[in-house]
Structure 1
Amino acid sequence: MLASPEFRKQMEGYSLTTAEILYRMPDHPALLQSYIWQDYDVAPEFPVLKKFLDFWERTLDGPLFKVTVACRKLIRPAELKAVSGEFRLH
Protein backbone atom coordinates (compact mmCIF):
# COMPACT_ATOMS: atom_id res chain seq x y z
CA MET A 1 0.00 0.00 0.00
CA LEU A 2 1.39 3.42 -0.97
CA ALA A 3 1.29 6.42 1.32
CA SER A 4 -0.95 9.30 0.28
CA PRO A 5 0.70 12.41 -1.22
CA GLU A 6 -0.43 14.42 1.83
CA PHE A 7 1.28 11.98 4.22
CA ARG A 8 4.49 12.08 2.17
CA LYS A 9 4.46 15.89 2.27
CA GLN A 10 4.07 15.79 6.07
CA MET A 11 7.06 13.47 6.32
CA GLU A 12 9.05 16.03 4.28
CA GLY A 13 8.27 18.79 6.81
CA TYR A 14 5.09 20.21 5.30
CA SER A 15 2.12 20.94 7.55
CA LEU A 16 -1.46 21.94 6.91
CA THR A 17 -1.55 25.73 6.55
CA THR A 18 -4.64 27.93 6.52
CA ALA A 19 -4.65 31.56 5.45
CA GLU A 20 -7.48 34.08 5.68
CA ILE A 21 -7.02 36.55 2.86
CA LEU A 22 -8.81 39.88 3.09
CA TYR A 23 -8.97 41.78 -0.16
CA ARG A 24 -10.71 44.85 -1.49
CA MET A 25 -13.63 44.41 -3.86
CA PRO A 26 -12.59 45.68 -7.32
CA ASP A 27 -15.84 47.59 -7.92
CA HIS A 28 -16.27 48.74 -4.29
CA PRO A 29 -12.80 49.37 -2.77
CA ALA A 30 -14.31 50.43 0.57
CA LEU A 31 -15.58 46.85 1.10
CA LEU A 32 -13.43 43.92 2.18
CA GLN A 33 -14.06 40.32 1.12
CA SER A 34 -12.64 37.25 2.88
CA TYR A 35 -11.15 34.19 1.15
CA ILE A 36 -9.92 31.08 2.98
CA TRP A 37 -6.93 29.26 1.44
CA GLN A 38 -5.65 25.90 2.71
CA ASP A 39 -2.81 23.69 1.51
CA TYR A 40 0.29 21.89 2.78
CA ASP A 41 3.22 24.28 3.20
CA VAL A 42 6.54 24.69 5.04
CA ALA A 43 6.64 27.15 7.93
CA PRO A 44 7.97 29.80 8.39
CA GLU A 45 8.90 30.46 4.74
CA PHE A 46 5.50 29.39 3.30
CA PRO A 47 6.67 29.00 -0.33
CA VAL A 48 3.34 27.53 -1.52
CA LEU A 49 1.34 30.40 0.01
CA LYS A 50 3.76 32.98 -1.40
CA LYS A 51 3.40 31.43 -4.86
CA PHE A 52 -0.39 31.64 -4.56
CA LEU A 53 -0.27 35.28 -3.37
CA ASP A 54 2.08 36.18 -6.24
CA PHE A 55 -0.42 34.59 -8.64
CA TRP A 56 -3.23 36.57 -6.96
CA GLU A 57 -1.44 39.90 -7.34
CA ARG A 58 -0.51 39.23 -10.99
CA THR A 59 -3.84 37.81 -12.14
CA LEU A 60 -6.78 38.95 -9.98
CA ASP A 61 -8.28 42.43 -9.70
CA GLY A 62 -8.97 42.49 -5.95
CA PRO A 63 -5.96 44.07 -4.20
CA LEU A 64 -4.79 42.29 -1.05
CA PHE A 65 -5.51 44.01 2.25
CA LYS A 66 -4.40 41.53 4.93
CA VAL A 67 -3.28 37.88 5.15
CA THR A 68 -3.53 35.94 8.43
CA VAL A 69 -1.74 32.56 8.53
CA ALA A 70 -2.25 29.60 10.88
CA CYS A 71 -0.10 26.48 10.74
CA ARG A 72 0.34 23.37 12.87
CA LYS A 73 2.40 20.26 12.38
CA LEU A 74 0.10 17.27 12.02
CA ILE A 75 2.66 14.53 12.64
CA ARG A 76 4.18 14.92 16.09
CA PRO A 77 4.49 12.96 19.32
CA ALA A 78 1.26 12.17 21.12
CA GLU A 79 0.23 14.47 23.93
CA LEU A 80 -0.68 12.76 27.19
CA LYS A 81 -2.51 14.34 30.13
CA ALA A 82 -2.68 12.93 33.62
CA VAL A 83 -6.26 12.46 34.78
CA SER A 84 -7.00 12.94 38.47
CA GLY A 85 -10.48 11.43 38.51
CA GLU A 86 -12.84 9.11 36.73
CA PHE A 87 -16.51 9.66 35.94
CA ARG A 88 -18.89 6.90 34.95
CA LEU A 89 -22.21 7.32 33.24
CA HIS A 90 -24.73 4.51 33.27
Structure 2
Amino acid sequence: MPATDTELMLKGYGLTTAEFFYRMPDYTHVLNSYVWQDYDIAPDHPRLFKFVEFWQSEIEGPLHSVRFTHRKLLATGEWRNVVGEFTLH
Protein backbone atom coordinates (compact mmCIF):
# COMPACT_ATOMS: atom_id res chain seq x y z
CA MET A 1 0.00 0.00 0.00
CA PRO A 2 1.46 3.39 -0.97
CA ALA A 3 2.25 5.88 1.77
CA THR A 4 -0.14 8.75 2.37
CA ASP A 5 0.93 12.35 1.79
CA THR A 6 1.23 12.94 5.54
CA GLU A 7 3.42 9.86 6.00
CA LEU A 8 5.69 11.06 3.20
CA MET A 9 5.98 14.51 4.76
CA LEU A 10 6.89 12.97 8.13
CA LYS A 11 9.63 10.97 6.39
CA GLY A 12 11.21 14.18 5.08
CA TYR A 13 9.56 14.52 1.70
CA GLY A 14 8.49 17.92 0.44
CA LEU A 15 6.44 19.14 -2.50
CA THR A 16 8.52 19.63 -5.63
CA THR A 17 7.04 21.66 -8.47
CA ALA A 18 8.82 21.71 -11.83
CA GLU A 19 8.07 23.59 -15.02
CA PHE A 20 9.38 21.92 -18.16
CA PHE A 21 9.92 23.97 -21.30
CA TYR A 22 10.06 21.84 -24.41
CA ARG A 23 9.98 22.22 -28.17
CA MET A 24 7.11 20.92 -30.27
CA PRO A 25 8.29 18.03 -32.47
CA ASP A 26 6.73 19.48 -35.64
CA TYR A 27 7.30 23.15 -34.79
CA THR A 28 10.77 23.41 -33.27
CA HIS A 29 10.53 27.20 -32.95
CA VAL A 30 7.56 26.92 -30.54
CA LEU A 31 8.15 26.43 -26.82
CA ASN A 32 5.49 24.82 -24.65
CA SER A 33 5.46 24.33 -20.92
CA TYR A 34 4.36 21.47 -18.69
CA VAL A 35 3.98 21.68 -14.91
CA TRP A 36 4.78 18.60 -12.79
CA GLN A 37 4.32 18.10 -9.03
CA ASP A 38 5.24 15.25 -6.72
CA TYR A 39 6.56 14.63 -3.24
CA ASP A 40 10.34 14.33 -3.36
CA ILE A 41 13.41 14.49 -1.14
CA ALA A 42 15.80 17.44 -1.43
CA PRO A 43 18.59 17.94 -2.38
CA ASP A 44 18.86 14.81 -4.56
CA HIS A 45 15.31 14.90 -6.04
CA PRO A 46 15.23 11.26 -7.22
CA ARG A 47 11.61 11.40 -8.44
CA LEU A 48 12.21 14.57 -10.45
CA PHE A 49 15.30 13.16 -12.15
CA LYS A 50 13.48 9.89 -12.84
CA PHE A 51 10.74 11.90 -14.58
CA VAL A 52 13.35 13.86 -16.58
CA GLU A 53 14.90 10.57 -17.72
CA PHE A 54 11.43 9.28 -18.67
CA TRP A 55 10.77 12.46 -20.66
CA GLN A 56 14.05 12.21 -22.54
CA SER A 57 13.51 8.56 -23.47
CA GLU A 58 9.74 8.47 -24.14
CA ILE A 59 8.51 11.96 -25.13
CA GLU A 60 9.21 13.29 -28.61
CA GLY A 61 9.39 16.96 -27.62
CA PRO A 62 13.02 17.75 -26.71
CA LEU A 63 13.53 19.60 -23.44
CA HIS A 64 14.67 23.20 -23.62
CA SER A 65 14.94 23.86 -19.88
CA VAL A 66 13.55 22.88 -16.49
CA ARG A 67 13.05 25.06 -13.46
CA PHE A 68 11.86 23.75 -10.13
CA THR A 69 11.22 24.64 -6.53
CA HIS A 70 10.97 22.50 -3.43
CA ARG A 71 9.02 23.23 -0.27
CA LYS A 72 9.19 21.08 2.82
CA LEU A 73 5.63 21.33 4.10
CA LEU A 74 5.97 19.57 7.43
CA ALA A 75 8.96 18.82 9.60
CA THR A 76 9.03 16.01 12.12
CA GLY A 77 9.27 18.46 15.00
CA GLU A 78 6.14 20.31 13.83
CA TRP A 79 3.86 17.29 14.10
CA ARG A 80 1.42 17.28 17.04
CA ASN A 81 -1.02 14.55 17.89
CA VAL A 82 -4.34 16.25 18.69
CA VAL A 83 -6.58 14.10 20.88
CA GLY A 84 -9.69 16.27 20.95
CA GLU A 85 -11.24 19.38 19.48
CA PHE A 86 -13.55 21.91 21.11
CA THR A 87 -16.03 23.89 19.03
CA LEU A 88 -17.72 27.02 20.36
CA HIS A 89 -20.96 28.30 18.87
Q: Which range, TM-score by smaller chain?
A: 0.7 to 0.9
Amino acid at match of 2:20: I
Partner of 2:58: 59
1:73-88 equivalences in 2 (<5 Å): 73-76=72-75
- Give 1 or 2 for the bigger CA radius of gyration: 1
Partner of 1:7: 6
Amino acid at match of 1:18: T
Rounded Cα–Cα distance in structure 2 between residues aligned with 1:45 and 1:25:
29
Gaps of 5+ in 2: 79-89
Partner of 1:32: 31
Rounded Cα–Cα distance in structure 2 between residues aligned with 1:44 and 1:64:
22
Instruction: Give the aligned length.
Output: 75
Rounded Cα–Cα distance in structure 1 between residues aligned with 2:10 and 2:22:
33
| CA deviation vs aligned residue, 1:32-64 (integer Å, no higher than 9, x gap) | 000000000011111001111101100010001
Partner of 1:86: none
Gaps of 5+ in 1: 79-90
Identity %, equivalent residues: 47
Amino acid at match of 2:23: R
Rounded Cα–Cα distance in structure 2 between residues aligned with 1:43 and 1:21:
18
Amino acid at match of 2:34: Y
Rounded Cα–Cα distance in structure 2 between residues aligned with 1:38 and 1:74:
14
Query: What SS does the aligned partner of 1:10 have?
Result: helix
Calculate the TM-score normalised by the size of structure 2: 0.79
